[in-house]
Amino acid sequence: MICRMKFIVSSSLLLKQLQAISGVLSTNNTLPILDNFLFELSDSEIHISASDLETTMTSRINVDMAEGEGKVAIPAKILLETLKTFADIPVTFDIDEDNFGITLTAGEGKYRLAGQNGDEYPQVPALENASTVSIESDILYQAISKTIFAASTDDLRPVMAGIYCEFSDEGTIFVATDAHKLVRYRRTDVKAEETASMILPKKPLNQLRQILLHDEEAVRIEYNETNARFTFKNIIMTCRLIEGKYPNYSAVIPAKNPNKMTVDRQPFLNAIRRVSIFSNKTTYQVKFKVAGTELILSAEDLDYSNEAQERLTCHYEGEDLEIGFNSKFLAEMLNNLTTDQVLLEMSEPNRAGLISPVESENKEEEILMLVMPVMLGA
């Protein structure tokens, strides 16, 4: 049984907060109550939660008026759709203490919907023996954005379907790989007193990235062996970590790469995109032929008699080389870099190539991208 609950809140403020956490909601919940937002009223503040059992996001907002306290689960879809139709006006929520019925009053309108007992909503797990590290939000945003595209989509290999994060007194490393491509993002200005590692799922990180955009406030990260909690402004996100041992990613990064090519990033990216239109739609292979100051990109699709070739100027040190890469992977990587020039390090046609930015503005940041070759003739 909950106490009487009544509160008034700005419709646009509430909608903004609900949209910030609604991405956590799943369309195929095993528990029907997870189709709801959990509203918890205490004093003149509401805590609103959304959860899919694995991840819970909670937003805290102040209300204009409050009576009583308690909790109620309110259907998420109908509430969001209703709030989207309002101008910025005060909305009154009045909850019946006996049956959890909810009456919304806004302007000249009155709307009723059925809620559920908030006590039945799954509780957020407590973080016992947690370690803590603080990261500026723009750094965390960059770390997620620069790596998440490389994480695997294969549910059969769950440890590779997340981002590996390692904290130490030397810095912080974020890694993502799907066995075809790999990204390692390192920061030397984010340090932790104790060395620890975890594998963070993609879904909560994508939600976090959306609210971190263009902000400089610090994010507090608490973590133990099973869960991590991110606290940012008025939002708290708790997620279950992916269990298992992450692959030894360092072992696949080739140490000796005598062939080094420096090229302007944007013309390189544009040429890859154009040539790849004519590539085989199974391998997306684009062949590199590099010698001296010349890079020739070519692709062909024998099934449809399509072929393309472009010539670019580059700076190259090493022996003449022909090597093939998946153009989709290369385009993704180049698109996630921002420097004017990139360095591509290679050794042999059957060994991985390494891409890194040239003259990065931030000396505390190090980005390394690895892409496996597509064998010529494949």
Residue ranges of the chain with per-residue pLDDT less than 70: 1-3, 214-215, 377-378
Q: Which CATH class is domain 5-120?
A: alpha beta
At residue 43, the pLDDT reads 87
3.30.2020.30, 3.10.150.10, 3.30.565.10, 2.40.50.140: CATH of 131-250: 3.10.150.10
* d(C-alpha 34, C-alpha 26), whole Å: 8
Q: What is the pLDDT of residue 378?
A: 47
Residue 216 CB burial class (10 angstroms; 0-12, 13-18, ≥19): exposed
pTM of the model: 0.90
Which DSSP symbol is given to 373?
Answer: B
Q: What is the pLDDT of residue 1?
A: 45
Give the torsion through C-alpha atoms of 73, 77, 82, 84, to 10 deg. 120
Look at residue 159 in the predicted model and tell me its pLDDT: 95
Q: How many CB atoms lie within 10 A of CB 154?
A: 11
Q: Where are the domains of the chain?
A: 5-120, 131-250, 253-371
Distance separating alpha carbons of residues 199 and 98, to the nearest angstrom: 43
Closest of 142, 136, 143 to residue 166, by C-alpha: 143
For residue 366, the model assigns a pLDDT of: 95
Fold of 253-371: DNA Polymerase III; Chain A, domain 2 (3.10.150)
